[in-house]
Structure formats: C-alpha cells, structure tokens
C-alpha cells in the first residue's frame, strides 16, 4: 500500500468542546487540511492503534460521505487493522457507541454536529469516542488539541474511494474495511432491553399508537426497522424518515419549536398515545403525550422511578446521575429508593466513569438527553422505547404517568432560556460579573427567596479523582429553587448564554401552572442578577425550552 506523507500547517482553533470539534461547515471546506489536521492529531495521540479496530460513521449531513472517504484513507495509512463503517456512511451516535463496545474497537469517529442545522451554511462536526464507547474525556481531547497546534504532516493511503453503498468487505494493505448494516446490532440490543413481544401485541391491537419524528436525520432507518418492521407500529408511524444531507432544510433539534409536524399531530385531534422525536445524530429525545410535553428532567425521573417495569432494568438501579443544570427531580427518586445520585458537569463524557465503575444505571441531561449503562452515549430511540414499554406495561397515558409521578414526588417546574450568538466578549463579561458577586450571595434575600449556596460548579470525579472547575454558576435558594448560568460549549457563533430556572412545588393543587408563569419570579431574578437583556438590548431569550 502506497502511503503519501502530506505536509500541512497547524490551526489554533481545534479545541474540542462539549461534544467534539464543531464548526461552521465552511471552516472545514475553506481551510486546506482542516479535517486532515484534526484527524491526524487524534491518530498521533493513539500510539496503540496498529492493527486495531476503528468504528466510522455519521449522521448523514452534508460533507459526511466526503469527509469519511478522507478519514478512511488516513486510517488505512495510519495502520488500523479493521474499519467498521455504517452503510451509506450512517451511524447514529448511540449505535456507534454500541459497535465500539461490542466489537472491542479502540474507538470510533462520529461525524455530526448533532442538532445543529447542516449544509454549506450550516455546521459540521467530528467526535472521537474511546474504547468504552463514550466521548473522549478531557485527558484525551486536551492532548488532541495540543497536537493540533504543532502538527506538520498527515498520512494518506493512495487508494480509490470505497463504495459506501454496498454491504461487504474490502482489503487495502493491512486494513480490512467492512461496510456494515448500521441498524442490526443496535436493534438486537434494544430487543434485549425491552419487552418487544408485549409491545408488538399491544401496537398490533391498535390500543397504543406511536408517532416518531426522525426529522430527516439519522434515526429514520433505525426507527423504521425497529418501530414499524419489528414492533408492528402501523406504516407512517415514523415521519420524516429519510435522512437528508440538509435534514430537509430543517433544524434537527427535537423540541416544541422545531419538531413541528410531530407537535401538530400530538396537539391535534386523533393524536397517538406517544409522540417522540430525535436529533441529527440520534442521541437526543423528546417525549410527548396527547397534548402533553414531558420535560427531559421529568423524563429521567419518571424512567428512574419506573425502571423495574422494563426487562432490562428489572433488578433495579445501582444509582443515577444528572448534569448539574438538569432539574433535581431525579434526586428525589434516588432518595426515595435509597440509591446514590451524582451531579456532573454538562456533557456525556462525565457519565462514562460512573457507568464504567458500575456506580450508576441511568443518567440524563436537561437538554433532551437520557441514557443508561447499555452504551456510553445518550440514546434517543432507547428513551422512546423505554417510554413505549412503560405505556404498554401500565396501560396509562403519558400524562397520567407524569401526573402520578408529581403527586408522589412533587413537581419541579423547570425551564431553560437561551440567549444565542451574543457577542463573545459580552458572554464572558456576564459570567465574570456573576462570578465576582458570588461571595456576596449566601444569606442574601432576593424577593421571597434566600440564597443558601452560590458557587462556580467544580466537579471532582468520584472514580479517578480528576477535578473539572468552572462548570457554571449555580445559585441555590430557599424555599427550594435554583438558578444556573453557563456558556454553551457547542455553539459555533459568538457566545450562547444558558439560564436554567427551577422551582420545587410539593403542593398537588399547584401542579397545573404554566411553567413560565410558575417561574416568573425566578426569571425576573435571573435578569436582575445577570442583566443579559439590558446588556444585549434583546427583548428576551431566543429559545425557551
Ligand atoms: C449542549 C447541551 C449539553 C449536551 C451537548 C451535546 O451543550 O446543553 O447538555 O451534552 O449539547 O449534545 P452546550 O455546551 O451547548 O450547553 V449533542 O446532542 O450535541 O451530542
Ligand atoms: Co446529538
């Protein structure tokens, strides 16, 4: 095999954020060797790669297949033994995580910018996942970044493009390339966790109906195979099922704003029992009932409280974890069950150690991410199947399941307000200003609240002792409420300020308020403390979830 050593010059902006390297597609297209530099930096930091297996795939967005051809040639030149590649270049993030674990790969490269829009004007991204199937922790991404600052050459095998459309095996030099069905291993795993027989018979009887919106992204083929073909959900149960390079011009973000087609169905006449959507790369989920939205924080708590009803979790949970800004609804379930509950920084990589050490079974984030120890990523379709299994097992509506949960544990009113694409300096200034005030907060009265704790969240990993500081300002209030401020690590333009608002309501007669109304006092308080509206001259947040 002929290998070309190509010279290159480093870039200084390849520091991976919360979810890999995410940039405007243009950055990849307009800067020579931008992709090559990053990939070679990763490979250079993996000394044990010779003869090892690497999993490759992406969410099908614009530039996915082209980038894959380059990465294949680089992986061959760098001495990997086997490349496992999803047919048509597709692999959902959770499916890639599963393949890495199942086939004991050294790692995997997933091409995605998740829920960000795609296309020449949209975003592209590269994530590296390690041996346990999870996102590379900072110990890795820091070395990748350091390497990217000094890189001078990359390796490319002289070989033709690989036909990604056909299943099969190719051999180039010492590397075997296998184009595999992206769905079948994942579908097998799901069948092992959930009661497929029972779900099938109830779906076939028509007593329960589901609508799943794949948003023209990667979960289409997964949902068609599992929900329609294996579980017998009626044809048309999966909408927007064909993956497209531009996600049909949409924004593959499963929330009430962007999953329009689904929301119309679920709030219209003849709504199915369960509505769900996933994002670009298939790791997020949104759950809806008839005219009912389940917040991701509540979803995690409900799944934890009902896990014993599902075959894969029949023996109970070892523990649970949530990211710091996620509502504390799941904490109450953990307390009632007498199991530990861990609080981690934002981003799935922090759950990996806890899962590997067997400390937790379920974990989740407020940003529509839920998962378990079955893989090392959040998993959209898994969460949907979990809910479907619950609805089938309890024969209750989604709304009833959630309302019962609130009656038992109390309700955590919760919302996130995003100010997107702020001037980067303003974003930093707002955070600095809050940080500077921290020592003055404790004991201070703010309206009807008193501050009980205020800090910049610093995480000490209970497994390896590593310390991650600066993970967001949290202000805990009495009676039980909380404000959290942090800057996004996945935005590709300026700074995005996220404000997380939470208030606990134990009184069941007050569980039917509109969340924005229930949180109005906290919303005003957040503005009083950070002044984002005044400083940015904006009327309000760009996105409210
Ligand atoms: C966002 C979410 C975070 C999530 C991350 C990756 O990060 O808030 O919870 O882990 O996206 O999700 P940030 O830093 O922008 O708040 V995904 O679906 O892009 O893999
Ligand atoms: Co995603």
**Which parts of the chain sit beneath pLDDT 70?**
none
Look at phi and psi of residue 208 and say left if phi exceeds 0, alpha if psi is from -120 to 50, else beta.
beta
Among the bound ligands, the one closest to the CA of 280: 2
**204: helix, strand or coil:** helix
Whole-number Å distance between alpha carbons of 397 and 292:
10
Burial, 54: exposed, middle or buried (Cβ in 10 Å; 0-12, 13-18, 19+)?
A: buried
Can you tell me which atom of ligand 1 is nearest the CA of 490?
A: 15
Residues at CB less than 6 angstroms from ligand 1: 18-19, 114-115, 279, 283-284, 323, 346-348, 365, 367, 369, 488-491, 498
Could you tell me whether strands 107-111 and 53-58 are parallel, antiparallel, or unpaired per DSSP bridges? parallel
Q: Where are the beta strands (DSSP E) in 350-505?
A: 362-365, 369-372, 411-422, 445-446, 449-456, 459-460, 467-468, 473-478, 481-487, 495-505
Which one of 16, 93, 110, 347 would you pick to mutate in the ligand 1 pocket, going by the greatest count of ligand atoms within 8 A of its CB? 347
* Residues forming CATH 3.30.310.50 domain(s) in the chain: 411-544
The pLDDT value recorded for residue 63 is: 97
Among the bound ligands, the one closest to the CA of 344: 1
Can you tell me which atom of ligand 1 is nearest the CA of 498?
A: 16
Among the bound ligands, the one closest to the CA of 127: 1
**347: helix, strand or coil:** coil
Contacts of 517 (CB under 8 A, 6+ apart): none
Q: How far is the CA of 136 from the centre of ligand 2 (A)?
A: 15
Report the CATH fold assignment for 186-409: Alpha-D-Glucose-1,6-Bisphosphate; Chain A, domain 3 (3.40.120)
The pLDDT value recorded for residue 264 is: 94
Q: How far is the CA of 333 from the centre of ligand 1 (A)?
A: 24
Given a contact cutoff of 8 angstroms between Cβ atoms, the answer to whether 368 and 278 are in contact is no
Given a contact cutoff of 8 angstroms between Cβ atoms, the answer to whether 504 and 519 are in contact is no
> Whose alpha carbon is nearest atom 19 of ligand 1?
114
> Whose alpha carbon is nearest atom 10 of ligand 1?
347
Q: What is the chain's alpha carbon radius of gyration, rounded to the nearest angstrom?
A: 23
Which one of 22, 366, 489 would you pick to mutate in the ligand 1 pocket, going by the greatest count of ligand atoms within 8 A of its CB? 489
Q: How far is the CA of 347 from the centre of ligand 1 (A)?
A: 6
Q: How far is the CA of 173 from the centre of ligand 2 (A)?
A: 35
Contacts of 358 (CB under 8 A, 6+ apart): 318, 373
Pair of tokens at residue 541: 């947040």
> Whose alpha carbon is nearest atom 16 of ligand 1?
488
Span 3-182 CATH architecture: 3-Layer(aba) Sandwich (3.40)
Burial, 400: exposed, middle or buried (Cβ in 10 Å; 0-12, 13-18, 19+)?
A: middle
> Whose alpha carbon is nearest atom 4 of ligand 1?
347
Whole-number Å distance between alpha carbons of 113 and 93:
11
The pLDDT value recorded for residue 17 is: 86
The pLDDT value recorded for residue 256 is: 87
Q: How far is the CA of 115 from the centre of ligand 1 (A)?
A: 9
Q: How far is the CA of 490 from the centre of ligand 1 (A)?
A: 6
Q: Where are the beta strands (DSSP E) in 77-142?
A: 82-90, 107-111, 123-130
> Whose alpha carbon is nearest atom 11 of ligand 1?
490
The pLDDT value recorded for residue 146 is: 97
Given a contact cutoff of 8 angstroms between Cβ atoms, the answer to whether 319 and 339 are in contact is yes
What count of other Cβ atoms lies within 10 Å of the Cβ of residue 537? 6
Contacts of 513 (CB under 8 A, 6+ apart): 413, 505
Q: How far is the CA of 163 from the centre of ligand 1 (A)?
A: 33
Given a contact cutoff of 8 angstroms between Cβ atoms, the answer to whether 343 and 356 are in contact is no
Helices 34-44 and 64-77, axial angle in degrees (round to 10): 40
Using alpha carbons only, give the angle 57, 61, 62 rounded to the nearest 5 degrees. Answer: 115
Helices 296-306 and 380-394, axial angle in degrees (round to 10): 50
Can you tell me which atom of ligand 1 is nearest the CA of 114?
A: 19
Contacts of 442 (CB under 8 A, 6+ apart): 451, 452, 453, 454
Could you tell me whether strands 292-294 and 285-289 are parallel, antiparallel, or unpaired per DSSP bridges? antiparallel
Q: Is the peptide bond before 227 cis (omega within 30 degrees of 0)?
A: no
Whole-number Å distance between alpha carbons of 80 and 93:
21
Can you tell me which atom of ligand 1 is nearest the CA of 486?
A: 16
Whole-number Å distance between alpha carbons of 272 and 254:
18
Contacts of 263 (CB under 8 A, 6+ apart): 256, 275, 288
Which one of 253, 283, 369 would you pick to mutate in the ligand 1 pocket, going by the greatest count of ligand atoms within 8 A of its CB? 369
* Residues forming CATH 3.40.120.10 domain(s) in the chain: 3-182, 186-409
CATH number corresponding to 411-544: 3.30.310.50
Can you tell me which atom of ligand 1 is nearest the CA of 18?
A: 14
The pLDDT value recorded for residue 489 is: 84
Q: How far is the CA of 115 from the centre of ligand 2 (A)?
A: 5
Which one of 380, 490, 541 would you pick to mutate in the ligand 1 pocket, going by the greatest count of ligand atoms within 8 A of its CB? 490
Which sequence positions are flagged as catalytic? 114
């Amino acid at each position: 095999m002929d290998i070309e050593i190509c010279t290159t010059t480093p870039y200084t902006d390849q520091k991976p954020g919360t979810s890999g390297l995410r940039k405007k597609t243009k950055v990849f297209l307009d800067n020579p060797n931008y992709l090559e530099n990053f990939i070679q930096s990763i490979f250079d930091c993996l000394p044990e790669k010779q003869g090892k297996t690497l999993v490759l795939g992406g969410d099908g967005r614009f530039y996915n297949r082209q980038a894959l051809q380059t990465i294949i040639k680089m992986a061959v030149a760098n001495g990997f033994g086997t490349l496992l590649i999803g047919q048509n270049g597709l692999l959902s993030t959770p499916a890639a995580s599963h393949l890495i674990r199942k086939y004991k790969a050294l790692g995997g490269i997933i091409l995605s910018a998740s829920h960000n829009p795609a296309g020449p004007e949209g975003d592209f991204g590269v994530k590296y996942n390690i041996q346990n199937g999870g996102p590379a922790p900072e110990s890795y991404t820091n070395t990748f970044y350091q390497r990217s600052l000094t890189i001078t050459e990359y390796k490319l095998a002289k070989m033709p493009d690989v036909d990604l459309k056909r299943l099969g095996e190719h051999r180039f030099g010492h590397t075997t390339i296998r184009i595999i069905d992206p769905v079948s291993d994942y579908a097998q795993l799901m069948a092992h966790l959930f009661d497929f027989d029972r779900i099938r018979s109830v779906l076939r009887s028509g007593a329960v109906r589901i609508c799943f919106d794949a948003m023209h992204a990667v979960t289409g083929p997964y949902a068609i195979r599992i929900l329609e073909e294996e579980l017998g959900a009626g044809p048309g149960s999966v909408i927007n099922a064909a993956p497209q390079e531009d996600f049909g011009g949409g924004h593959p973000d499963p929330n009430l704003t962007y999953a329009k087609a689904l929301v119309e169905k679920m709030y219209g006449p003849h709504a199915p029992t369960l509505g769900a959507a996933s994002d670009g790369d298939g790791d997020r989920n949104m759950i809806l009932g008839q005219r009912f939205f389940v917040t991701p924080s509540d979803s995690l708590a409900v799944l934890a409280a009902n896990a014993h009803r599902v075959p894969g979790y029949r023996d109970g949970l070892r523990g649970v974890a949530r990211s710091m800004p996620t509502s504390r609804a799941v904490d109450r379930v953990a307390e009632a069950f007498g199991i530990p509950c861990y609080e981690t920084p934002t981003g799935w990589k922090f759950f990996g150690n806890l899962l590997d050490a067997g400390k937790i079974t379920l974990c989740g984030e407020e940003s529509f991410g839920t998962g378990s120890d079955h893989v090392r990523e959040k998993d959209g379709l898994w969460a949907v199947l979990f809910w479907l299994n619950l609805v089938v097992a309890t024969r209750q509506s989604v709304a009833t399941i959630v309302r019962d949960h609130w009656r038992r544990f109390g309700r955590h009113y919760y919302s996130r307000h995003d100010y997107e694409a702020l001037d980067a300096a303003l974003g930093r200034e707002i955070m600095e200003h809050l940080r500077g005030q921290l020592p003055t907060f404790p004991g201070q009265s703010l309206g009807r609240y008193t501050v009980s704790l205020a800090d910049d969240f610093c995480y000490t990993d209970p497994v390896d002792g590593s310390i991650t500081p600066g993970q967001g300002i949290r202000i805990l209030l009495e009676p039980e409420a909380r404000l959290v401020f942090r800057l996004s690590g996945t935005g590709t333009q300026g700074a995005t300020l996220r404000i997380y608002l939470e208030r606990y309501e134990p009184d069941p007669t007050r569980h039917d308020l509109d969340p924005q109304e229930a949180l109005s006092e906290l919303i005003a308080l957040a503005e009083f403390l950070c002044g984002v509206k005044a400083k940015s001259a904006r009327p309000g947040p760009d996105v409210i979830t």
